[in-house]
Amino acid sequence: MSLPVWLRPLVPPALRRWRRREAVKSALLEAVSSTQPRECPICGHRGLFTHFGRPPRIDAACTGCGSLERHRLFWLWFGGNPAQLPGPVLHFAPERVLERRLRPLLPDYRSADLFEAADLRIDIERTGLPDGAFGAIICNHVLEHVDDTLAMAELHRILAPGGRLVCSVPIVEGWGRTYEDASIRSREERALHFGRFDHVRWYGQDFRDRLRAAGFARIDEITAEGPAVITHALMPGEKVFVCHREAAPTGAPA
Ligand SMILES: [Zn+2]
């Protein structure tokens, strides 16, 4: 409600600032409010989703299970089918919305994290785990935080021949090369340059070259596209990478 012109000079400046802030807040909330129902492939919720992130992404979060766009894209690929993730399965920095559902489906499921509670407290750059120990590894939005040359080689080493790494990262497909700069070290500068205070790069198309250099022979790309983007509120063009370690030659020891 706007004040009459004659009353405005009588309103204390602090109250005027508060009113302006509140007006901006409610305009922002209205701008990001959901209007169209969506469907969550993870929990089955059908209805309005809600915004998430800074800046807010409209309909990013399912109001049934809290899943974000990338979790729903992962689940559309996985489809609740254990054959997609041959065991034993290792899940780095597990997203709780996925872990809650994967653990009962996958008998040999292990979570891993260096900082949070998990089955294994390990560093992705040097896990100390035996060669070829896992049939599948899930690693979403981790590689942009770490020395990815070390981490990718380590993931390849602990995968069994024929095993698969399922991963996603922040990537700008319009960039040929990854943007990284080791001299950018402060939290503020990293947030400015790489999108978050603890990111050390923003990937470009050469993300695939890095995976190949680590030994992954085949990389399949699952892309959020077409009507599924609308139905399930996915981020257009977002990708899940399914990276295959070469199977052992017939007759050779695994
Ligand atoms: Zn859901």
195 inside domain: yes
User: In angstroms, what is the span from residue 75 Cα to ligand 1's centroid?
Assistant: 10
CA atoms of 32 and 14, how far apart (whole Å): 27
pLDDT at 253: 54
CATH number at residue 118: 3.40.50.150
pLDDT at 1: 61
253 inside domain: no
In this predicted structure, the answer to whether residue 18 has a pLDDT above a threshold of 80 is yes
The CA-atom distances, in angstroms, between 67 and each of 39, 85, 217, 236, 242 are 11, 20, 31, 16, 20
pLDDT at 93: 96
Comparing CA positions, the residue from 206, 66, 249, 240 lying closest to residue 136 is: 240
195 or 147: which leads in pLDDT: 147
43 inside domain: no
pLDDT at 29: 80
14 inside domain: yes
Amino acid at site 92:
F
The CA-atom distances, in angstroms, between 21 and each of 14, 27, 57 are 11, 10, 21
136 inside domain: yes
The CA-atom distances, in angstroms, between 245 and each of 4, 121, 129, 144 are 71, 24, 17, 21
11 inside domain: yes
For residues 164 and 223, state if they share a domain.
yes
Collapsing DSSP to helix, strand or coil, 154 comes out as helix
59 inside domain: no
For residues 238 and 153, state if they share a domain.
yes
In this predicted structure, the answer to whether residue 4 has a pLDDT above a threshold of 70 is yes
User: In angstroms, what is the span from residue 2 Cα to ligand 1's centroid?
Assistant: 40
For residues 224 and 115, state if they share a domain.
yes
CA atoms of 195 and 189, how far apart (whole Å): 9
For residues 16 and 112, state if they share a domain.
no
Range(s) of the domain holding residue 128? 70-244
Report the number of distinct structural domains present in the chain: 2
Average pLDDT value for residue range 220-233:
98
User: In angstroms, what is the span from residue 116 Cα to ligand 1's centroid?
Assistant: 23
pLDDT per residue as tens digits for the range 91-144:
999 999 999 999 999 999 999 999 999 999 999 999 999 999 999 999 999 999
pLDDT per residue as tens digits for the range 138-178:
999 999 999 999 999 999 999 999 999 999 999 999 999 99
Average pLDDT value for residue range 69-80:
97
* Rounded to 5°, angle at Cα 128 from 127 and 134: 70
Q: Which of 17-21, 60-64, 129-133, 218-222 has the lowest mean pLDDT?
A: 17-21
250 inside domain: no
pTM of the entire predicted model: 0.86
Q: Which is it for strands 218-223 and 239-244: parallel, antiparallel or unpaired?
A: antiparallel
Residues constituting the chain:
254
In this predicted structure, the answer to whether residue 52 has a pLDDT above a threshold of 80 is yes
User: In angstroms, what is the span from residue 242 Cα to ligand 1's centroid?
Assistant: 23
User: In angstroms, what is the span from residue 85 Cα to ligand 1's centroid?
Assistant: 21
User: In angstroms, what is the span from residue 62 Cα to ligand 1's centroid?
Assistant: 5
In this predicted structure, the answer to whether residue 252 has a pLDDT above a threshold of 80 is no
User: In angstroms, what is the span from residue 227 Cα to ligand 1's centroid?
Assistant: 18
The CA-atom distances, in angstroms, between 30 and each of 33, 51, 96, 235 are 5, 11, 29, 21
